[in-house]
């Protein structure tokens, strides 16, 4: 079990938006003239804050970690950050134009409750976007896998596969399911994010494996920056198909 309260300060210091994910979200927002947007599992609020900046839109971020929410509120006082979980989205039906989550779905215990909840709070035609890692992305994480190959098995056990997610989204009532991929290259010149274990998979491997990887990374960094590629899979869908007969929501 990962304690996100403890990670909050490191997340605020090191975690940034992926430009490809942000670009796709903004394109969807512009395309449908979205004015009510929610990020589920917003962490320190990087994505929802950037979306809210300079736009006349109502933005809501929810997260179960008070530590994450504290950081988020400090950085974007104008945005509504609320305590809550993906499984219990307590909002009016047909309210949001876009509901998205980034790097959260592998933490969600009851995904069907989450997807059904998203379908319920979205207006008909509103869009869902689930941003996650596919199996091939997990196997090709660069440089994580080069230095910490032990993370692969851990992550393959944690992350639901894309076909599973797509099936569940359809079962929850979403239509027009499609997947897109984004990729961005950058270079790493400080070891801080890895030493601070900003990547939660580093909390799930043995101490020996972690220290081995850190030592090799330090050696390579002494010779110069390390090339990195960050990839994500985005699964999109639209609300407003026939509602499932028993949705099991509160409210
Ligand atoms: C890897 S972080 C991603 C944060 C943010 N989306 C980002 O990309 O910067 C995962 C986040 O999911 C949150 N989380 C964990 N379990 C959750 C759940 N059941 N419902 C909603 N959020 C959850 C954690 O508190 C944490 O902030």
Kindly report the protein residue whose alpha carbon is nearest to atom 16 of ligand 1: 107
In angstroms, what is the span from residue 127 Cα to ligand 1's centroid? Answer: 20
63 close to ligand 1 (CB < 6 Angstrom): yes
In angstroms, what is the span from residue 10 Cα to ligand 1's centroid? Answer: 14
pLDDT on residue 243: 54
**CB 173, CB 237: distance < 8 Å:** no
Give pTM, 2 decimals.
Answer: 0.93
244 close to ligand 1 (CB < 6 Angstrom): no
Per-position DSSP letters for 107-163, written without gaps between them: G-S-HHHHHHHHHHHEEEEEEEEEEE--HHHHHT-BTHHHH-TTHHHHHHHHSPPHH
* Ligand 1 pocket, mutate which of 9, 61, 64 (most atoms under 8 A from CB): 64
103 close to ligand 1 (CB < 6 Angstrom): yes
Does residue 61 have a cis bond before it (omega within 30 degrees)?
no
Cα–Cα dist 21/41, whole Å: 15
Kindly report the protein residue whose alpha carbon is nearest to atom 27 of ligand 1: 43
Of 102, 109, 106, 107, nearest in space to 129 by CA: 102
* Ligand 1 pocket, mutate which of 41, 84, 86, 90 (most atoms under 8 A from CB): 41
Longest dimension (CA), the chain: 60
Domains present along the chain, CATH in parentheses: 4-238 (3.40.50.150)
pLDDT on residue 38: 98
* pLDDT, tens digit only, all 251 positions of the chain: 788 898 898 888 888 999 999 999 999 999 999 999 999 999 999 999 999 998 999 999 999 999 999 999 999 988 999 999 999 999 999 999 999 999 999 999 999 999 999 999 999 999 999 999 999 999 999 999 999 999 999 999 999 999 999 999 999 999 999 999 999 999 999 999 999 898 889 999 999 999 999 999 999 999 999 999 999 999 999 998 555 554 444 43
């Amino acid at each position: 079990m990962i304690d996100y309260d403890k990670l909050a300060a490191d997340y605020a210091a090191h975690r940034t938006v992926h430009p490809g994910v942000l670009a796709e979200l903004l394109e969807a927002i512009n395309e449908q003239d979205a004015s009510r947007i929610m990020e589920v599992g917003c962490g320190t609020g990087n994505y929802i804050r950037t979306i809210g900046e300079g736009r006349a839109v109502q933005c809501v971020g929810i997260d179960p970690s008070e530590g994450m929410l504290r950081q988020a509120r400090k950085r974007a006082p104008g945005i509504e950050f609320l305590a809550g979980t993906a499984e219990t989205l307590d909002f009016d039906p047909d309210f949001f134009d876009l509901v998205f989550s980034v790097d959260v779905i592998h933490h969600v215990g009851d995904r069907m409750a989450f997807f059904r909840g998203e379908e319920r709070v979205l207006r008909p035609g509103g869009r869902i976007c689930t941003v996650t890692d596919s199996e091939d992305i997990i196997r090709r994480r660069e440089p994580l896998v080069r230095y910490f190959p032990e993370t692969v098995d851990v992550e393959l056990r944690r992350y639901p596969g894309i076909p599973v997610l797509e099936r569940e989204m359809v079962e929850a009532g979403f239509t027009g399911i499609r997947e897109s991929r984004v990729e961005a290259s950058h270079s790493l010149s400080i070891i801080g994010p890895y030493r601070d274990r900003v990547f939660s998979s580093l909390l799930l491997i043995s101490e020996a494996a972690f220290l081995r990887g850190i030592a090799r990374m330090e050696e390579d960094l002494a010779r110069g920056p390390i090339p990195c590629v960050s990839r994500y899979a985005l699964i999109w869908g639209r609300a407003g198909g026939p509602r499932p007969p028993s949705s099991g929501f509160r409210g």
